[in-house]
Amino acid sequence: MSKTRGQSQVEFLRDVDADGGRIAKAEFSLNRDMWKDVSPTYYLTLDQKGVRSHQEFLWTPELETYLLQAGVTAASPEEEAERFATILMNNLTRAQQDHGKDYARSVLVDILRGRPEYGLDRLLARIPAYRPSQSGRSFAACTQFLTTSIDGLQNEARIGLRYSPDQARDLMRAALEILLDETFLISSSDAVFPRS
Protein backbone atom coordinates (compact mmCIF):
# COMPACT_ATOMS: atom_id res chain seq x y z
CA MET A 1 0.00 0.00 0.00
CA SER A 2 1.39 3.39 -0.94
CA LYS A 3 1.88 6.18 1.55
CA THR A 4 -0.15 9.34 1.57
CA ARG A 5 1.53 12.67 0.92
CA GLY A 6 1.27 13.50 4.62
CA GLN A 7 2.82 10.21 5.69
CA SER A 8 5.74 10.75 3.30
CA GLN A 9 6.25 14.31 4.58
CA VAL A 10 6.32 13.19 8.20
CA GLU A 11 8.63 10.26 7.43
CA PHE A 12 11.06 12.64 5.69
CA LEU A 13 11.09 15.05 8.65
CA ARG A 14 11.52 12.20 11.14
CA ASP A 15 14.52 11.00 9.12
CA VAL A 16 16.00 14.52 9.22
CA ASP A 17 15.49 14.59 13.00
CA ALA A 18 16.95 11.08 13.44
CA ASP A 19 20.08 12.16 11.53
CA GLY A 20 20.60 15.10 13.90
CA GLY A 21 18.91 17.71 11.72
CA ARG A 22 16.27 20.21 12.76
CA ILE A 23 13.71 22.63 11.40
CA ALA A 24 15.48 26.00 11.61
CA LYS A 25 12.57 28.06 10.28
CA ALA A 26 8.97 27.45 9.28
CA GLU A 27 7.22 29.84 6.97
CA PHE A 28 3.58 29.38 6.02
CA SER A 29 1.31 30.80 3.36
CA LEU A 30 -2.27 30.19 2.24
CA ASN A 31 -1.05 30.87 -1.32
CA ARG A 32 -4.22 32.40 -2.73
CA ASP A 33 -4.44 32.36 -6.50
CA MET A 34 -6.21 34.95 -8.65
CA TRP A 35 -9.53 33.14 -8.08
CA LYS A 36 -8.99 33.29 -4.31
CA ASP A 37 -8.50 29.51 -4.11
CA VAL A 38 -6.06 28.55 -1.40
CA SER A 39 -3.21 26.10 -1.50
CA PRO A 40 -1.71 26.15 2.02
CA THR A 41 2.01 25.57 1.92
CA TYR A 42 4.89 25.28 4.38
CA TYR A 43 8.36 26.52 3.43
CA LEU A 44 10.74 24.85 5.84
CA THR A 45 14.40 25.69 6.28
CA LEU A 46 16.17 22.55 7.48
CA ASP A 47 19.53 22.58 9.21
CA GLN A 48 21.27 19.26 8.61
CA LYS A 49 24.78 19.04 10.02
CA GLY A 50 25.46 22.69 9.28
CA VAL A 51 23.99 22.57 5.77
CA ARG A 52 20.76 24.48 5.21
CA SER A 53 18.17 23.39 2.69
CA HIS A 54 14.76 24.75 1.81
CA GLN A 55 11.83 22.39 1.41
CA GLU A 56 8.32 23.18 0.22
CA PHE A 57 5.46 21.07 1.57
CA LEU A 58 1.81 21.35 0.69
CA TRP A 59 -0.23 21.41 3.90
CA THR A 60 -1.59 18.09 5.14
CA PRO A 61 -3.19 17.22 8.47
CA GLU A 62 -0.40 14.70 9.13
CA LEU A 63 2.31 17.30 8.55
CA GLU A 64 0.47 19.78 10.77
CA THR A 65 0.13 17.25 13.58
CA TYR A 66 3.85 16.50 13.39
CA LEU A 67 4.82 20.18 13.46
CA LEU A 68 2.47 20.97 16.34
CA GLN A 69 3.80 18.04 18.37
CA ALA A 70 7.35 19.21 17.63
CA GLY A 71 6.47 22.70 18.89
CA VAL A 72 7.29 24.37 15.56
CA THR A 73 5.96 27.92 15.26
CA ALA A 74 5.47 29.94 12.09
CA ALA A 75 7.85 32.78 11.26
CA SER A 76 5.38 35.59 12.04
CA PRO A 77 2.04 36.17 13.79
CA GLU A 78 0.39 36.67 10.37
CA GLU A 79 1.70 33.34 9.14
CA GLU A 80 0.67 31.66 12.39
CA ALA A 81 -2.87 33.06 11.98
CA GLU A 82 -3.03 31.66 8.42
CA ARG A 83 -1.74 28.33 9.71
CA PHE A 84 -4.41 28.21 12.43
CA ALA A 85 -7.06 29.25 9.90
CA THR A 86 -6.02 26.34 7.69
CA ILE A 87 -6.45 23.93 10.59
CA LEU A 88 -9.88 25.41 11.32
CA MET A 89 -10.86 25.25 7.62
CA ASN A 90 -9.88 21.59 7.58
CA ASN A 91 -12.00 20.93 10.67
CA LEU A 92 -14.95 22.87 9.23
CA THR A 93 -14.70 20.79 6.03
CA ARG A 94 -14.90 17.65 8.15
CA ALA A 95 -17.96 19.01 10.00
CA GLN A 96 -19.56 19.87 6.64
CA GLN A 97 -18.99 16.30 5.43
CA ASP A 98 -20.55 14.90 8.61
CA HIS A 99 -23.46 17.32 9.05
CA GLY A 100 -23.96 19.15 5.76
CA LYS A 101 -22.35 22.33 4.46
CA ASP A 102 -25.01 24.87 5.38
CA TYR A 103 -25.76 23.28 8.75
CA ALA A 104 -22.10 23.14 9.87
CA ARG A 105 -21.57 26.73 8.76
CA SER A 106 -24.64 27.93 10.66
CA VAL A 107 -23.42 26.09 13.78
CA LEU A 108 -20.00 27.77 13.43
CA VAL A 109 -21.60 31.20 13.20
CA ASP A 110 -23.86 30.39 16.16
CA ILE A 111 -20.83 29.35 18.26
CA LEU A 112 -18.87 32.49 17.35
CA ARG A 113 -21.81 34.79 18.10
CA GLY A 114 -21.60 33.45 21.65
CA ARG A 115 -17.86 34.14 21.93
CA PRO A 116 -17.48 37.94 22.34
CA GLU A 117 -13.84 37.57 23.42
CA TYR A 118 -12.88 37.25 19.74
CA GLY A 119 -14.48 40.56 18.70
CA LEU A 120 -15.96 39.17 15.50
CA ASP A 121 -19.29 41.01 15.63
CA ARG A 122 -18.50 43.17 12.58
CA LEU A 123 -17.82 40.11 10.40
CA LEU A 124 -20.60 37.99 11.86
CA ALA A 125 -23.14 40.74 11.11
CA ARG A 126 -22.31 40.38 7.40
CA ILE A 127 -22.93 36.64 7.26
CA PRO A 128 -26.37 35.50 6.13
CA ALA A 129 -26.60 32.41 8.32
CA TYR A 130 -29.76 31.10 9.89
CA ARG A 131 -29.82 29.78 13.43
CA PRO A 132 -29.30 26.04 13.26
CA SER A 133 -31.96 23.63 14.42
CA GLN A 134 -30.98 22.50 17.89
CA SER A 135 -33.07 19.34 17.92
CA GLY A 136 -31.41 16.01 17.43
CA ARG A 137 -27.91 14.70 17.92
CA SER A 138 -26.43 16.51 14.94
CA PHE A 139 -26.51 19.90 16.67
CA ALA A 140 -24.77 18.60 19.78
CA ALA A 141 -22.16 16.63 17.81
CA CYS A 142 -21.39 19.48 15.38
CA THR A 143 -21.27 22.08 18.17
CA GLN A 144 -18.97 19.92 20.28
CA PHE A 145 -16.64 19.18 17.35
CA LEU A 146 -16.30 22.80 16.25
CA THR A 147 -16.05 24.17 19.81
CA THR A 148 -13.37 21.60 20.63
CA SER A 149 -11.53 22.53 17.42
CA ILE A 150 -11.43 26.21 18.38
CA ASP A 151 -10.67 25.73 22.08
CA GLY A 152 -8.22 22.90 21.47
CA LEU A 153 -6.23 24.92 18.96
CA GLN A 154 -6.10 27.92 21.27
CA ASN A 155 -4.90 25.65 24.10
CA GLU A 156 -2.30 24.12 21.79
CA ALA A 157 -1.04 27.63 21.01
CA ARG A 158 -0.68 28.34 24.73
CA ILE A 159 0.68 25.05 25.95
CA GLY A 160 2.36 23.34 22.98
CA LEU A 161 3.63 26.41 21.16
CA ARG A 162 4.17 28.48 24.32
CA TYR A 163 2.29 31.61 23.35
CA SER A 164 0.98 33.76 26.18
CA PRO A 165 -2.80 33.57 26.81
CA ASP A 166 -3.24 37.00 25.16
CA GLN A 167 -1.12 36.01 22.15
CA ALA A 168 -3.05 32.73 21.78
CA ARG A 169 -6.39 34.59 21.89
CA ASP A 170 -5.16 37.18 19.37
CA LEU A 171 -3.89 34.45 17.03
CA MET A 172 -7.22 32.66 17.30
CA ARG A 173 -9.13 35.89 16.59
CA ALA A 174 -7.05 36.50 13.46
CA ALA A 175 -7.45 32.87 12.37
CA LEU A 176 -11.22 33.02 12.86
CA GLU A 177 -11.36 36.25 10.82
CA ILE A 178 -9.55 34.46 7.98
CA LEU A 179 -11.81 31.42 8.35
CA LEU A 180 -14.97 33.53 8.14
CA ASP A 181 -13.61 35.54 5.20
CA GLU A 182 -12.60 32.43 3.25
CA THR A 183 -15.78 30.51 4.10
CA PHE A 184 -18.28 33.27 3.41
CA LEU A 185 -16.28 35.14 0.71
CA ILE A 186 -16.56 38.46 2.50
CA SER A 187 -13.56 40.24 0.94
CA SER A 188 -14.37 38.74 -2.48
CA SER A 189 -17.87 40.13 -2.19
CA ASP A 190 -16.43 43.53 -1.23
CA ALA A 191 -14.21 43.47 -4.33
CA VAL A 192 -17.17 42.76 -6.62
CA PHE A 193 -19.73 44.86 -4.75
CA PRO A 194 -17.82 47.66 -2.98
CA ARG A 195 -19.44 48.91 0.21
CA SER A 196 -19.83 52.63 0.57
- What integer pLDDT is reported at residue 136 of this predicted model? 81
d(CA 102, CA 105): 5
**Residue 75: CB partners within 8 Å, gap ≥ 6?**
25, 26, 27, 28
Q: Please count the residues of the chain.
A: 196
d(CA 5, CA 60): 8
How far lies 22's CA from each of 10, 65, 73, 151, in Å?
A: 13, 16, 13, 29
Averaged pLDDT, 89-102: 96
Answer whether 42's CB lies under 8 Å from 65's CB. Answer: no
Answer whether 126's CB lies under 8 Å from 140's CB. Answer: no
The pLDDT tens digits for 103-160 are: 999 999 999 999 999 999 999 999 987 888 888 889 999 999 999 999 999 999 999 9
- What integer pLDDT is reported at residue 34 of this predicted model? 62
- What integer pLDDT is reported at residue 188 of this predicted model? 67
Answer whether 108's CB lies under 8 Å from 146's CB. Answer: yes
The pLDDT tens digits for 35-86 are: 667 899 999 999 998 899 999 999 999 999 999 999 999 999 999 999 999 9
d(CA 179, CA 84): 9
137-141: long-range contacts at Cβ-Cβ below 8 A with a sequence spacing of 24 or more? 138/99, 138/103, 139/107, 141/98, 141/99
pTM: 0.92
In the chain, where the domains are located: 1-72, 76-184
